[in-house]
A and B are shown apart, each in its own frame.
Chain A
Amino acid sequence: MPSGELPGSPVAPGVSAGPARYGEVFDRGYQRYGGARLGRGHGVWAIARYSMKRAMGFKKGWSSKVIPFFVYIAAALTAVIPIGIEAFIGQESIPYEGFFGLLYVLQGIFVATITPEFMCSDRRENVLSLYFSRAITRLDYLVGKLVGAALLTLTVTLAPALLLWLGRQLLADAPLDALWSNLADLGRLAFVGTMLALYLSAGGLMIASFTGRKSIAVAVIIVGIVVLESLIALLLFALEGDASRIANFFSPTTVTSGLVSGVFEPDRPPPPSDQPDFAFAWWGYASAMAVTITLCLAIMYRRYVPAD
């Protein structure tokens, strides 16, 4: 049917004038929908899935795919190279906490790239009015975005670590035994990877929610982390005692590395007595992350609340 031409008056659903002949064309008509209507959870998951596809550049030009592609290549190499080295030297080449440290920059670049894709287009193209006129709440929309962004971020926080873990078990003399005996490490990796994904994506989404322009959001996320880290370093220098320790919770780098170290190296020795001990237990950093994620969601929710 040519563009602009209206289809003919629809026939009643299921009504046919007579026996169908081969090649006969029917007006499909408008059918009322009497099937299942799933709940808000389905809507949240639909938003997460759709946003993930768009952030990864599905059905978009190559320029939307290039940064995630190179980040994945780099993350995969970060896992594969230690496995290769360990195959030759026969021992662990890098501890997990060091491995997460290597991935941190890649994770930052990835989050700075994808989270603006999640938030900015909807605001700039005014699509929010269509989402919010449907049977979901504004919080559902934001949770959908957070779930989608965190799932994508898991591909750079958890997937490379899983690859490293699996490679190590397969290199062992008795791979099945090694898999079984190192399940605890797998649990730790899953916990750390998930926390990092939620923490980083919540921060990225929160910043991106303030603008409709992706380029500005990307710049603010990257520059914002650098500025924040510098400010925290200044605070650490200026403050003393507990105030100085608590300032660490505002540093994304310290919080993420603190969690990884706390989980994989819980019995590390304290620093020499002439140096301050900034370290907390893993649950301290995990709590800081949970508070930050909740705070980011609250700020975003505030951004999306109607103005009345």
Chain B
Amino acid sequence: MTDRAVAPPIIEIANLTKRYGRQTALADLSLGVPFGAIGLLGANGAGKTTLIRVLLGLTKPTSGSARVLGIDTQAQPIEVRRRVGFMPESDCLPRDATAAEFVGHLAEVSGLPTRTARQRAADVLYQVGLDEERYRLIKGFSTGMKQRVKLAQALVHDPSLVFLDEPTNGLDPRGREDMLELVNRIHRTLGIAVVLSSHILEDIERVCTQVIIIDEGRLLLSQALRTHDDSRGDVMFRVEGDPGPIADRLRGRGLTVKVGLGEAGQDIVVSPESDETFDAIRDGVAELGLPLRMLRTRSSSLEDLYIGQLSNGSGAVVSGGTEQNHAER
């Protein structure tokens, strides 16, 4: 991993702009991404899929340039795709083919000899948790199994980098856990760089070492994610009625208070998290006679990072479970 830390970026983008008519999908993006698990975060329509398409050499940018694994995506798109895997967001599997047959076929299309392709398909399907099922027709698969087949086809030609577009879409909680575990293994155990595109904060927080946040085609942030592990947590609570008086009271006790968070704009976040903070909230709501509707700790997280960066406060990004519920009535 030390070698990789000093290795050249796996993705380099310079002044990348992509317009569809008058619509700007990507606006002057510039960034460099090191080897790792990269989270590509943004609301639906933020430009994530367009960025992936440009990086795969499937779409030509209006201006600017992009290099993947050191290869120019415009000049050598085939070479890029030879070394990169892609798992699309949409349902894209043939219904009346077996998983082994179809994944093996795509391995062949990627240039693997026929017999090797068949063997690789079996191995990769086993790695994603489909062993005996690989000889069944895909039309009989659950959503989770289909997602695994899509992941297998992205890995079967042994790419150095794999793009996963919303890999947990449509999965139940168990399936989502399994998928995130698989993505973790791809990066940590198999040594394949991952770009995970998602609008779900927790997915990215769970898996990624670096995050790129884009909104309306603009780059909001690109930075290592784990630096936030060291930051201290907050306490979040909600009262019925006007949050102003309790916020003022807590500020009077020297605490940092933010009001107006959450879906209803009624959540109050108090820093730092400590026993004194909990005591102050308890005393405050008791003295003001305010019904306490929710109280929980909230680690300083990707959510803070996202909300801090997103000036227009889009509600389309789903916050994950970085919060630990203490009380919710």
Q: Are B158 and A32 in contact (CB under 8 A)?
A: yes
Tell me the minimal C-beta distance from A43 to chain B in angstroms: 4
Residues in A with CB closer than 8 Å to B127 are: 7, 10, 30
Residues in B with CB closer than 8 Å to A60 are: 96
Name the residue among A9, A33, A127, A136 with the largest chain B CB count within 10 angstroms: A33
Q: Are B109 and A43 in contact (CB under 8 A)?
A: yes
Task: From known contacts A3-B133, A129-B90, infer whether A135 and B111 are also in contact, taking CB-CB under 8 Å.
Answer: yes
Q: Are B113 and A306 in contact (CB under 8 A)?
A: no
Residues in B with CB closer than 8 Å to A6 are: 129, 178, 181-182
Q: Which of A4, A32, A47, A129 contacts B109 (CB 8 A)?
A: A47
Does residue B95 face the partner (Cβ distance < 8 Å to A)?
Answer: yes
Q: Are B111 and A33 in contact (CB under 8 A)?
A: no
Q: Are B113 and A38 in contact (CB under 8 A)?
A: yes
Tell me the minimal C-beta distance from B166 to chain A in angstroms: 13
Does residue A28 face the partner (Cβ distance < 8 Å to B)?
Answer: yes
Q: How many A-B residue pairs have CB under 8 A?
A: 130
Give bound CA distance, A134 to B162, whole Å: 12
Q: Are B116 and A308 in contact (CB under 8 A)?
A: no
Does residue A176 face the partner (Cβ distance < 8 Å to B)?
Answer: no
Does residue B187 face the partner (Cβ distance < 8 Å to A)?
Answer: no
Does residue A294 face the partner (Cβ distance < 8 Å to B)?
Answer: no
CB proximity to A under 8 Å, residues B31-87: 56, 58-60, 78-79, 81-82, 86
Residues in A with CB closer than 8 Å to B111 are: 37-40, 42-43, 135
Binary CB contact string for chain B from 177 to 203 against chain A (1 if under 8 A, 0 otherwise):
010011001000111000000000000
Does residue A130 face the partner (Cβ distance < 8 Å to B)?
Answer: yes
Q: Are A30 and B109 in contact (CB under 8 A)?
A: no
Q: Which of A4, A33, A54, A134 contacts B144 (CB 8 A)?
A: A4
Interface segment out of the listed B100-108, B225-233, B267-275, B314-322: B100-108
Tell me the minimal C-beta distance from B152 to chain A in angstroms: 11
Q: Are B78 and A137 in contact (CB under 8 A)?
A: yes
Residues in A with CB closer than 8 Å to B106 are: 130-131, 134
Does residue A275 face the partner (Cβ distance < 8 Å to B)?
Answer: no
Q: Are B88 and A130 in contact (CB under 8 A)?
A: yes
Residues in A with CB closer than 8 Å to B96 are: 59-60
Tell me the minimal C-beta distance from A15 to chain B in angstroms: 13
With both beta carbons as reference points, the residue of chain A lying nearest to B138 in the complex is identified as: A125
CB proximity to A under 8 Å, residues B117-171: 120, 123-124, 126-127, 129-133, 144-145, 153, 157-158
Give bound CA distance, A134 to B92, whole Å: 14
Q: Looking at chain A, what size class is its interface with the partner chain? A: 35 or more
Does residue A36 face the partner (Cβ distance < 8 Å to B)?
Answer: yes
Tell me the minimal C-beta distance from A147 to chain B in angstroms: 14
CB proximity to B under 8 Å, residues A35-67: 35-40, 42-43, 46-47, 50, 54, 59-60
Does residue B309 face the partner (Cβ distance < 8 Å to A)?
Answer: no
Residues in B with CB closer than 8 Å to A135 are: 78-79, 81-82, 109-111
CB proximity to B under 8 Å, residues A244-289: none
Residues in B with CB closer than 8 Å to A31 are: 123
Q: Are A42 and B129 in contact (CB under 8 A)?
A: no
Tell me the minimal C-beta distance from A264 to chain B in angstroms: 39
With both beta carbons as reference points, the residue of chain B lying nearest to A46 in the complex is identified as: B108
Residues in B with CB closer than 8 Å to A127 are: 92-94
Residues in A with CB closer than 8 Å to B144 are: 4
Residues in B with CB closer than 8 Å to A42 are: 108, 111, 113
Task: From known contacts A10-B189, A30-B123, infer whether A4 and B129 are also in contact, taking CB-CB under 8 Å.
Answer: yes
Does residue B112 face the partner (Cβ distance < 8 Å to A)?
Answer: yes
Does residue B97 face the partner (Cβ distance < 8 Å to A)?
Answer: yes
Tell me the minimal C-beta distance from B115 to chain A in angstroms: 10
Give bound CA distance, A54 to B144, whole Å: 25
Q: Which of B56, B126, B178 contacts A4 (CB 8 A)?
A: B178
Does residue A69 face the partner (Cβ distance < 8 Å to B)?
Answer: no
Give bound CA distance, A6 to B174, whole Å: 12
Give bound CA distance, A129 to B86, whole Å: 9
Residues in A with CB closer than 8 Å to B92 are: 125-127, 129-130
A-B contact pairs, 24 of them (CB 8 A): A4-B129, A5-B129, A6-B181, A7-B126, A9-B185, A10-B190, A30-B127, A32-B158, A35-B113, A38-B113, A40-B78, A42-B108, A46-B108, A46-B109, A54-B97, A59-B97, A60-B96, A125-B91, A125-B94, A129-B90, A130-B88, A131-B106, A134-B109, A136-B109
Task: Please name 17 further chain A to chain B contacts, defined as beta carbons within 8 Å, in addition to the given A6-B182, A35-B116, A133-B86, sorted by A numbering.
Answer: A4-B175, A9-B185, A10-B189, A28-B126, A30-B123, A33-B116, A38-B112, A40-B111, A59-B101, A127-B92, A127-B93, A129-B90, A134-B106, A134-B157, A135-B111, A136-B109, A308-B20
